[in-house]
Amino acid sequence: MNNQIQDVVVFRKWLDGFGIIALFPELPADLYGRYCDSYEHVGQHGGADYQGVIMNTRPANDEDSVDLAEELTRIGYKLRPIKRASQLHHERRRRLARHLALIDAE
């Protein structure tokens, strides 16, 4: 069994065909947990509206996402790719955001 913490990631390809985005549905980009962390080659880290990105992208296949996955691994991510985030993933993000907001308030 792997006890190492892994970063759940969803790879998506923009509908215009230009670029791949990595969505981290469990990692909050704000203290409310509304937005998840994301990463692209250009622009790198940023907050993303998960559902908004899903509506404007299609699933990326392994060939599409290999370069971005390698870049993320090089900068320290331990990736666990999934095809679609569940309600559990989104709730984990909101819970972590609430925790971070409490720490920030101290």
Does this model's pTM top 0.95? My answer is: no
Give Cα 93 to chain centroid, integer Å.
10
3 pLDDT band (50/70/90 cuts)?
A: low
Sign of the alpha-carbon torsion through 53, 55, 60, 64? negative
Residue 38 pLDDT > 90, yes or no? yes
Residue 1 pLDDT > 70, yes or no? no
CA angle 86, 87, 92 (to 5 degrees): 100
